[in-house]
C-alpha cells in the first residue's frame, strides 16, 4: 500500500473509492489534487492496483512527488509495480519520495482460513457479526480475492440495517454469484462487458430452464433504458460529472447521489416506474449503472436494440433456435458491437 501523507486530526474526512481500471487515472489524480470544499482531509482509495498499467503507475509517480497536503491516497493491491524495472518512474518514486509514502505489507491468509479473515474484517471494519456458515458461503460466492470479499462486505454494510448480523440469508440475497439467477440479472453483466460473469449467469439460466424469450426481453428492456438515460445525460454533461463524483464518494455522497439518480431515472424513463431514492443503491450502484453507460455509445445502443429486435423475430419464426450457444453469440455480439455488427431487419 502506498500512502501520500497529509495532516492528521481535524474534521471527519471525505472518502472516495475507485477500482483500478474502472476510471481513468487522470480522474483519480484530479480528485486527489483538488482540496476538499469543506476543508477536511480527503481519503482517495484505489483498490486492485495490481491491475494498473505502466502508464497509470507513471502518472501516480508524478503525483507522489508533490501530493496534496489535504489528501491521503491509498493504493491497495498485491505486489503493486513489482514487475516494473528499477528505472521506471514508479519504482524510483517509491525510493525517492519516502517523505510522502508509507509502504505497508499485509500478508494474505491461506485460502482455508479466508472465511476467518472475512469474519474478522466484518467485525473490525464494519462492526457486524458474520457467523462461520455465512462466511464460508461468502467465500464460496466470491472466491478468495480479498478485494472482492471486502467489496461484498461493504455492499452488505450499506444495504443492511445498522448493527444487523450478516447471515446466510443476507449473503444469498445480496451477494453476486449466489443462488438461482433471473433474466434481469443477465443484462447488467452484459452491459458491464463482464464476459465471465455474463456467461456464468447465462449457464445458470439454462440450468433452471429459463426461456430464451425472457432473456431477450430483459436484455431489450435494459438496453432501451440505457439508451434513454444516455440521451438524458448527453444533454447534461455537468450533471453527469457531478453524479459520478458522488458515486465515488460512497456512503458520504449517498443521499445527494440517490436524489440526483432518482430524478434522472424519472426524467429519462429508464424504468417503467420511478425509483424511490432508497432503491437507488440496489438498482443503480450495485449493478454499476454509470459504468454501463460509459461502455456504449448512442450509436451502439441504437444498433443493439435493432439487433435484439431481429433476434426476437427470428426466434419466433424459428430461424434463431435460442439454445445456450445461440445466446452466447448474442451476448458476445452485444459486447463487441463497437467492432462487429450483424445485419438487422430495421
Mean pLDDT of 101-106: 77
Distances (CA, A) of 54 to 60, 90, 266: 10, 9, 41
DSSP state of 274: P
DSSP state of 271: S
Mean pLDDT of 150-170: 85
DSSP string over 4-60 = E-----SSPPEEEEEEBTTB-HHHHHHHHHSPPTTS--EEEEEE-GGG--HHHHHHH
Mean pLDDT of 14-20: 77
Cα angle, residue 160 at apex, residues 154 and 161 outer, rounded to 5°? 125
> Could you give the percent of the chain with pLDDT greater than 90?
25
Q: Of 240, 229, 236, 216, nearest to 305 (Cα)?
A: 216
Residue ranges per domain, the chain? 2-103, 111-174, 183-335
Confidence of residue 281 (pLDDT cuts 50, 70, 90): low
Confidence of residue 159 (pLDDT cuts 50, 70, 90): confident
Check pLDDT > 50 for residue 5. Answer: no
Distance CA 304, CA 125 (A): 42
The pLDDT value recorded for residue 3 is 38
Higher pLDDT: 20 or 216? It is 216
Q: Supply the pTM of this predicted model.
A: 0.52
CATH class held by domain 183-335: mainly alpha
Chain mean pLDDT for the chain: 83
Check pLDDT > 60 for residue 1. Answer: no
Write the pLDDT tens digit of every residue in 215-245.
999 999 999 999 999 999 988 888 888 888 8
Fold of 2-103: Rossmann fold (3.40.50)
Higher pLDDT: 160 or 247? It is 160
Q: Are 132 and 33 in contact (CB under 8 A)?
A: no
Q: Are 164 and 136 in contact (CB under 8 A)?
A: no
* Beta-carbon count within 10 A of 331 CB: 21
> Could you give the percent of the chain with pLDDT greater than 70?
91
Cell 482531509, residue located:
41
Write the pLDDT tens digit of every residue in 186-212.
999 899 998 877 888 898 888 878 899
Higher pLDDT: 141 or 133? It is 133
Region 111-174: CATH code: 1.10.8.60
Amino acid at each position: 500500500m502506498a500512502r501520500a501523507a497529509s495532516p492528521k486530526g481535524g474534521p471527519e474526512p471525505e472518502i472516495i473509492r475507485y477500482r483500478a481500471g474502472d476510471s481513468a487515472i487522470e480522474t483519480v489524480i484530479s480528485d486527489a489534487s483538488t482540496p476538499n470544499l469543506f476543508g477536511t482531509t480527503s481519503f482517495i482509495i484505489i483498490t486492485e492496483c495490481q491491475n494498473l498499467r505502466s502508464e497509470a503507475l507513471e502518472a501516480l509517480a508524478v503525483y507522489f512527488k508533490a501530493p496534496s497536503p489535504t489528501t491521503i491516497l491509498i493504493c491497495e493491491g498485491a505486489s503493486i509495480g513489482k514487475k516494473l524495472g528499477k528505472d521506471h518512474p514508479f519504482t524510483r518514486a517509491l525510493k525517492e519520495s519516502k517523505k510522502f509514502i508509507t509502504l505497508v505489507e499485509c500478508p494474505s491468509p491461506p485460502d482455508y482460513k479466508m472465511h476467518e479473515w472475512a469474519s474478522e474484517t466484518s467485525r473490525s471494519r464494519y462492526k457486524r457479526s458474520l457467523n462461520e456458515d455465512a462466511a464460508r458461503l461468502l467465500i464460496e460466492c466470491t472466491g478468495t480475492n480479498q478485494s472482492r470479499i471486502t467489496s461484498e462486505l461493504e455492499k452488505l454494510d450499506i444495504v443492511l440495517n445498522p448493527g444487523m448480523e450478516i447471515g446466510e440469508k443476507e449473503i444469498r440475497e445480496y451477494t453476486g454469484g449466489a443462488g438461482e439467477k433471473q433474466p434481469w440479472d443477465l443484462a447488467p453483466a452484459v452491459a458491464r462487458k463482464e464476459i465471465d460473469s455474463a456467461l456464468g449467469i447465462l449457464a445458470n439460466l439454462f440450468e433452471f430452464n429459463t426461456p430464451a424469450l425472457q432473456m431477450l426481453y430483459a436484455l431489450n428492456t435494459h438496453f432501451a433504458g440505457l439508451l434513454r438515460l444516455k440521451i438524458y445525460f448527453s444533454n447534461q454533461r455537468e450533471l453527469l460529472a457531478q453524479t459520478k463524483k458522488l458515486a465515488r464518494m460512497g456512503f458520504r455522497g449517498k443521499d445527494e447521489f440517490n436524489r440526483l439518480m432518482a430524478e434522472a431515472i424519472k426524467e429519462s424513463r429508464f424504468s417503467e416506474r420511478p425509483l424511490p431514492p432508497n432503491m437507488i443503491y440496489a438498482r443503480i450502484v450495485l449493478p454499476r449503472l454509470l459504468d454501463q453507460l460509459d461502455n456504449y455509445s448512442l450509436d451502439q445502443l441504437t444498433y443493439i436494440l435493432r439487433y435484439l429486435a431481429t433476434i426476437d423475430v427470428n426466434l419466433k419464426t424459428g430461424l434463431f433456435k435460442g439454445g445456450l450457444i445461440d445466446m452466447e453469440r448474442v451476448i458476445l455480439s452485444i459486447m463487441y458491437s463497437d467492432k462487429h455488427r450483424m445485419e438487422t431487419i430495421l
